[in-house]
Structure 1
Amino acid sequence: MIPLQDLLIFILAAFGLVITPGPNMIYLISRSITQGKKAGIISLFGIVTGFLFHILLVSVGITAILFAVPIVYLGLKTVGVCYLIYLAFQAIKPNSQNIFEARTDLPTDQPLKLFSMGFFTSILNPKIAIFYVSFFPQFIKIEYGSVFWQSIELGITQMMVSFSVNLIIVLTAAKTAIWFARNPIWMKIQKWFMASILTSLALKMALDKSK
């Protein structure tokens, strides 16, 4: 089992990931606004199911290889730090994307298609793939027990964080979009808050001398 302190840091990293604009969030917001909350929730279940694809890829042996080849671990750690800094910059750069500027050209789809589109949006999302491959090894240690089950534990934790945050977004997307449109200053505050979390996580990862 992963210690609670390490798990809480991972939860913060997962939270930082889920609140940054990306294909999953933009699709969910757009779908919720154009087709309603029910369509957004069905799409969300598809996205969360897609996370299982990434979890299995990590859990069946990728992390074991990383422990055997330290230079690979160092490389992925560097990728993780750089990616966090990139996300932080993307959040605050001039004319950065407003996540509540939803697409209005989405067609009305049936539940099965909503689920499948959410699923494929998730498995093809590079942000999720980079997070799983570069972040999981930071929190997995041989002394904590089975590498496989540690990966599963981290994966389930990330799924729960993502589902909870995205569910709130789906249920409040329309009202939140209107509120941010009327109060643009809070959108700037949200972006800087997001960037601060991501930068803090990048510094912690860069200074971590474990392994």
Structure 2
Amino acid sequence: MQQFLIIAAAHFLALLSPGPDFFLVARTSLSAGWRVASGACLGIAVANGVFIVAAFTGVSVLQPGSVPFIVLQLVGCLYLLYLGVLFIRHAGSSVLQAADGAAPAQLTWLQAAGMGFLSGILNPKNALFYVSLASMLGSSQGSVGWKLFYGVWMFAVVLSWGLLVALAIGNGRLLSRFQRALPALERLSGLFLIALALGMLGLLLRN
């Protein structure tokens, strides 16, 4: 249970920091409405699902304690460390606003879904992030059942967060408040990811 809470928290905190997927949903919602933006949310979630399946399937063929598995864990820790430093370094630099021509009002739900899938699947950071999370699974939670649970959970969180952003982003007051809180959220996410990476590195070095 503790491992699940750590991985789930790392996954959610990473979602809080705006990236290409976040801005696609925000701009689509601002210019075409949240219903059309929900298509982008589903497309992004499906793309994340592809990476989740690939990451968990790839890790499952590696035996815990083997050299490839340890190398994968080290790479995953280093990526989380890099991601955390990036969050802190660029905290407060993201500006949420409508982008002229980014998502025309005539955009259909299916087109938005396609845009969301392409945005998610063409982002290499998504693949690296899920591999890093998958490599953190211990032997007690490395079964097929646990991996299926993690996969469904992460897919649901990505989709739910996207829909929440799409619904809230059109509200000027909420958008303004989120913009003010964003630097602190990015710093918090960065500190958590750095602490998580250092903790995992410490465990690897002791073993």
Measure, in 2, the Cα distance between the counterparts of 1:86 and 1:102: 29
Cα distance between partner residues in 2 of 1:23 and 1:53: 17
Deviation at 1:180, TM superposition (A): 4.9
Distance 2:203 2:157 in 1: 24
Cα deviations across residues 182-211 of structure 1 (Å, max 9, x unaligned)?
xx4x33322222222222222222223498
Q: How does 1:41-190 map to 2 (within 5 A)?
A: 41-60=38-57, 62-67=58-63, 70-93=66-89, 97-98=93-94, 100-106=96-102, 107-108=104-105, 109-141=107-139, 143-144=140-141, 146=143, 148-174=144-170, 175=172, 176-180=174-178, 184=180, 186-190=181-185
Paired with 1:95 and 1:200, the residues of 2 have a C-alpha distance of 17
C-alpha separation between the residues in 2 aligned to 1:92 and 1:102?
A: 25
Relative to the length of structure 2, the TM-score reads 0.83
Query: Of residues 187, 196, 206 in structure 1, which corresponds to 2:201?
Result: 206
Correspondent of 2:4 among 2, 7, 14: 7
Runs of 4+ in 1 over 6 A off after TM superposition: none
**1:96 and 1:6, CA in 2 relative to 1: closer, same or farther beyond 3 A?**
same
Instruction: Compute the displacement of 1:44 (Å).
Output: 0.5
Counterpart residue number, 1:38: 35
Corresponding residue for residue 196 of structure 1: 191
Cα 1:68–1:74 change in 2 (3 A) is closer
Q: AA paired with 1:50? A: A
2:10 counterpart of 1:22: no
CA shift at 1:115, angstroms?
0.9
Range moving further from structure 2, 39-48 or 156-165? 156-165
Q: Which runs of 5+ in 1 are unaligned?
A: none
Distance 2:178 2:141 in 1: 44
On the 8 A contact 2:91/2:187 being kept in 1, the answer is no
Shift in Å at residue 91 of structure 1? 2.1
Superimposed CA distance per residue, residues 50-94 of structure 1 (whole angstroms, 9 cap, x where no aligned partner): 22322332344x123321782222222222222222222222325
Q: Provide closer, same or farther for how the CA distance between residues 114 and 75 of structure 1 changes in structure 2, counting only shifts above 3 A.
A: same
CA distance in 2: counterparts of 1:207 and 1:16, whole angstroms: 22
Paired with 2:91 and 2:9, the residues of 1 have a C-alpha distance of 26
Partner AA of 2:49 in structure 1:
L
Q: Is the contact between residue 55 and residue 127 of structure 2 (CA under 8 Å) also seen in structure 1?
A: no
Aligned Cα RMSD in Å?
2.6
1:114 CA displacement: 0.8
